[in-house]
């Protein structure tokens, strides 16, 4: 299926792409305030040389724009904007509200955020503000107003960049102002009925029953385990508060410049899950993402693909904006491994393969001072006679050569349901095993699909499943009745589904579903689990099909399903570990243990075959993704191996200009983008 095309929802993005950029956008965060004006001239010359057409400016501009309370200085930013316009480079103009200036905290000390332990966080880093502070909101909107008024009609303005990575450093604040806002949010959520809150939070346990809203607090540090539903609601509240902040800035901008798209940079990346982006996607004119590799991971490109496929899900299949990634090493990981030759290009084009119509970086020129002075950039400290700059030049040529892919959609036969709220609930204390974590099975199944050469779209529960040939449901602990019903309907209409353990266990208040696990999916899967049997740390067990497993087993009975494999040893010898239930033309598979990588790959291969999905035809380590549009089809081949590879393709490789008949050869570490002869758009 082509992502997003069967959905009856209005596309979240793409329809409001900046009209000034005819091809793919290419750029970086540009921070000229760190450099003398001479450098600016060189910057613009180099931007033109490589084809940079859109840069993010003023992302951390507040201290320059408002050096003293209510005194605004916009001259320098105006000069930068004029200079961009003169050189044909557009601005992704920051509202500048990410980090207030130092005077702000002297004047408004109660805007500083507080940790769960009651520690105030201080200025001196960045983004030290309480998301619920009315003072912060008022002052930030004041700045947005000034910036919007001043630059509304500026010829360089192409889009608005609200704040920066909202929630990156201040996702949750536990101060008294936040507590008050949390209570207001709860009163509205529970319709002023405190007993509805008591029921949802299960406060009959441990003497937690509330009789007065004033007693309700954020989940601050406590002597014992904090109520899990209270934690869950606080995370929902915290995500909603920051979304509310985004909306407030966006609405002000829309009023002044209705034709200019507004976005903010999300952080769909391995280690961050602070906000429920499923609610954010529809609010952005363009879904934009920042992605940084976990550089020590030798398979980081698979994690990159997972995140890109998740962003595309948030954008409901429409093209999205890669707002930041790095040309090489970052400065904030334990070991900041540099990118190998060609990796910059492979990373950038893999994002494009998976639906990005814009490739941007942090940042244009490497800083000499400040917290990020050891972070890579397009222009490194060593200047332009460098590997990085040569790769930037190459990328500029590539993006021009493949610009026709703009606006096309990614083909993906498989969907995977992943939910931020379920991840949150799994992170809270007191589960049966600490080894069951939010994305573990999602990554395992995704990896198996990636290696089989199958493109997967990551969707939030509630998304339309029509048209997908297979849906993967990895450890979806919290499930609403509506999601469970949608999955059943999907299988009932001929779909194939794979569910892994510890799914369907709780409802959206984290209340356990009764009658046997896996609760919401029990009937669909045709199994009945009476007890979990988590394994000891490091314990590995064998299955009768030769695979091994660890972490988790279940005392499972078949109720309509058949056993695909069973435990040979461990606590439950002879008990089914993997099951399958036929449902009309479809099937529902259940994986009750943590299969090893080989077992997962074997199982997925079997399911893909049954679901009629072509797989396993590409060489190992090669990423092959197709983007299609009206009368157009593009095959991206990203070779992550050191050897040359051959992949079936007919057409012209836009990168090299060579015609490929039947196959394309892509050199070790290289990328090919074949404009295919076959018209697959129909
Ligand atoms: C992002 C942020 C940038 C820069 C970058 C460094 O999180 O938006 O401002 O800090 O990381 O990797």
Q: How many residues does the chain have?
A: 682
User: Could you check whether 25-172+244-407 and 622-676 share the same CATH topology?
Assistant: no
DSSP summary character for residue 317: T
CA of 514 to the centre of ligand 1 (A): 45
Cα separations in angstroms, 586 against 413, 454, 470, 649: 15, 19, 9, 31
Residue 362 CA to ligand 1 center (angstroms) comes to 6
- Contact at 8 Å (CB) between 555 and 572? yes
CA angle 461, 465, 467 (to 5 degrees): 165
Measuring from atom 7 of ligand 1, which residue has the nearest CA? 165
309 within ligand 1 shell (Cβ under 6 A): no
Rounded distance from Cα 401 to ligand 1 centre (Å) = 29
User: For residues 151 and 146, what is the distance between their CA atoms, to the nearest angstrom?
Assistant: 9
Q: How far apart (Å, rounded) are the C-alpha atoms in residues 324 and 330?
A: 12
Check residue 270 and give its pLDDT.
80
* Minimum CA distance residue for ligand 1 atom 11: 362
CA 326, chain centre distance (Å): 16
Question: What is d(CA 315, CA 407) in angstroms, rounded to the nearest whole number?
Answer: 13
What residues in the chain have per-residue pLDDT under 70?
Answer: 1-15, 678-682
Q: How far apart are CA 245 and CA 237, in angstroms?
A: 12
Q: Do strands 671-676 and 632-639 pair parallel, antiparallel, or not at all (unpaired)? A: antiparallel
Active-site residue, 391 included:
no
C-alpha to C-alpha distance for 478 and 497, rounded to whole angstroms = 17
From the CB of 291, is ligand 1 less than 6 Å away?
no
CATH tag, 414-610: 3.40.50.880
Pairing of the two strands 496-500 and 562-566: unpaired
327 lines ligand 1 (CB under 6 A): no
Do 466 and 494 meet the contact criterion of CB atoms below 8 Å apart?
A: no
* 462, 520, 588, 606 from 492: Cα distances, Å: 17, 16, 10, 20
Closest CA to 481 of 498, 461, 497, 496: 461
**DSSP for 402-471, written as a single string:** TGGGTT-EEB-SEEEE--HHHHHHHHSS--S-TT--TTHHHHHHHHHHHHTT--EEEE-TTS--TT-SEE
pTM exceeding 0.95 = yes
Query: What's the pLDDT score for residue 355?
Result: 98
In this structure, are strands 409-410 and 414-417 parallel, antiparallel, or unpaired?
unpaired
Q: What's the confidence (pLDDT) of residue 480?
A: 98
Residue 164 Cβ contacting ligand 1 at under 6 Å:
yes
Give phi and psi for 597, each to the nearest 5.
-60, -40
CATH dotted code for 622-676: 2.60.40.1180
Domain borders along the chain are 25-172+244-407, 414-610, 622-676
User: What is the rounded distance in angstroms from the CA atom of residue 591 to the CA atom of residue 498?
Assistant: 7
- How many angstroms separate the alpha carbon of residue 374 from the centre of ligand 1? 12
Per-residue CA distances from 507 to 54, 513, 514 (Å): 45, 7, 10
118, with CB counted inside 10 A (0-12, 13-18, 19+), is exposed
**So what's the pLDDT on residue 573?**
98
CA distance 50 to 67: 35
Angle (CA) 178-100-291 rounded to 5° is 85
25-172+244-407 — its CATH code?
3.20.20.80
| Separation of alpha carbons 147 and 143, rounded Å | 6
What lies within 8 Å, CB to CB, of 388 at 6+ separation is 327, 328, 344, 376, 377, 378, 379, 380
Closest to 465 (Cα-Cα) out of 507, 444, 500, 493: 493
- Is residue 324 annotated as part of the catalytic site, yes or no? yes
The residue contributing the CA closest to ligand 1 atom 10 is 372
Given 66, 318, 324, 411, which residue is catalytic?
324
Q: Is the CB of 283 under 6 A from ligand 1?
A: no
d(CA 682, CA 679): 7
CB atoms < 10 A from the CB of 150, how many? 15
Nearest-atom index, ligand 1, CA of 59: 9
Instruction: Give the strand pairing for 262-263 and 157-161.
Output: parallel
Give me ligand 1 centre to Cα 303, in Å: 18
**Cα 50 from Cα 394, distance rounded (Å):** 8
Binding site membership of 411 for ligand 1 (Cβ less than 6 Å)? no
Q: Closest by alpha carbon to 559, among 600, 595, 590?
A: 590
């Amino acid at each position: 299926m082509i992502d997003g095309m069967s959905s009856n929802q209005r596309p979240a993005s793409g329809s409001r792409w900046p009209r000034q950029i005819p091809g793919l956008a290419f750029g970086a965060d540009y921070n000229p305030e760190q450099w003398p004006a001479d450098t600016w001239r060189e910057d613009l010359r180099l931007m033109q040389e490589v084809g940079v057409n859109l840069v993010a400016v003023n992302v951390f501009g507040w201290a320059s724009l408002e050096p003293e309370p209510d005194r605004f200085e916009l001259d320098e930013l105006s000069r930068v904007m004029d200079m961009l316009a003169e050189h044909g480079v557009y601005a992704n103009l920051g509202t500048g509200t990410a980090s207030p200036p130092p005077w702000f905290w002297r004047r408004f000390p109660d805007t500083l955020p507080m940790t769960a332990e009651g520690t105030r966080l201080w200025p001196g880093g960045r983004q030290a503000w309480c998301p619920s502070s009315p003072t912060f909101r008022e002052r930030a909107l004041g700045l947005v107003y000034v910036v919007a008024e001043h630059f509304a009609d500026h010829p360089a303005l192409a889009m608005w960049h609200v704040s920066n990575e909202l929630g990156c450093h201040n996702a949750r604040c536990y101060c008294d102002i936040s507590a008050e806002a949390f209570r207001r949010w709860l009163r509205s959520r529970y319709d002023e009925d405190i007993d509805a809150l008591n029921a949802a939070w299960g406060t009959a346990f441990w003497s937690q029953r509330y009789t007065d809203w004033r007693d309700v607090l954020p989940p601050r540090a406590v002597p014992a385990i904090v109520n899990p539903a209270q934690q869950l609601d606080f995370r929902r509240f915290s995500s909603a508060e920051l979304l509310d902040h985004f909306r407030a800035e966006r609405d002000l901008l829309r009023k002044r410049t209705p034709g200019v798209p507004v976005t903010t940079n999300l952080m769909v990346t391995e280690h961050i899950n602070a906000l429920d982006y499923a609610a954010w996607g529809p609010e952005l004119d363009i879904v934009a993402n920042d992605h940084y590799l976990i550089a020590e991971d030798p398979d980081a490109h698979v994690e990159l693909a997972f995140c890109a496929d998740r962003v595309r899900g948030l954008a409901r299949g429409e093209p999205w904006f890669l707002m930041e990634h790095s040309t090489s090493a970052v400065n904030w990981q334990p070991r900041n491994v540099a990118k190998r030759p060609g990796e910059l290009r492979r990373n950038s084009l893999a994002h494009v393969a998976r639906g990005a119509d814009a490739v941007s970086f942090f940042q244009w020129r490497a800083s000499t001072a400040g917290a990020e002075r050891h972070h890579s950039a397009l222009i490194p400290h060593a200047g332009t006679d460098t590997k990085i700059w040569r790769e930037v030049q190459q990328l500029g040529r590539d993006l021009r050569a493949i610009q026709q892919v703009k606006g096309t959609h990614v083909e993906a036969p498989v969907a995977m349901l992943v939910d931020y709220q379920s991840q949150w609930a799994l992170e809270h204390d007191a589960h049966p095993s600490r080894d069951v974590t939010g994305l573990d099975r999602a990554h395992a199944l995704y990896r198996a699909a990636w290696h089989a050469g199958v493109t997967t779209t990551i969707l939030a529960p509630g998304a339309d499943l029509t048209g997908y040939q297979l849906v993967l449901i990895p450890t979806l602990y919290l499930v609403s009745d509506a999601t469970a019903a949608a999955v059943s309907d999907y299988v009932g209409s001929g779909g194939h589904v794979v569910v892994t353990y510890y799914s369907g266990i709780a409802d959206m208040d984290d209340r356990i579903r009764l009658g046997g696990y896996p609760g919401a999916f029990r009937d669909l899967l045709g199994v009945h689990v009476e007890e979990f049997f988590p394994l000891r740390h490091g314990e590995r067990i064998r299955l009768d099909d030769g695979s091994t497993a660890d972490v988790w087993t279940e005392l499972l009975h078949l109720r309509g399903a058949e056993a695909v494999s069973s435990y040979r040893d461990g606590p439950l010898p002879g008990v089914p570990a993997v099951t399958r239930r036929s449902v009309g033309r479809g099937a529902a598979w259940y994986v009750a243990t943590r299969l090893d990588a080989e077992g997962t790959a074997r199982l997925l291969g079997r399911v893909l075959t049954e679901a009629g999905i072509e797989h396993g035809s590409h060489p190992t380590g090669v990423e092959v993704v197709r983007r299609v549009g009206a009368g157009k089809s593009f095959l991206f081949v990203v070779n992550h191996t050191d050897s040359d590879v051959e992949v079936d393709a007919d057409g012209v490789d836009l990168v090299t200009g060579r015609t490929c008949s039947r196959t394309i050869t892509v050199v070790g570490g290289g990328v090919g983008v074949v404009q295919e002869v076959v018209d697959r758009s129909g």
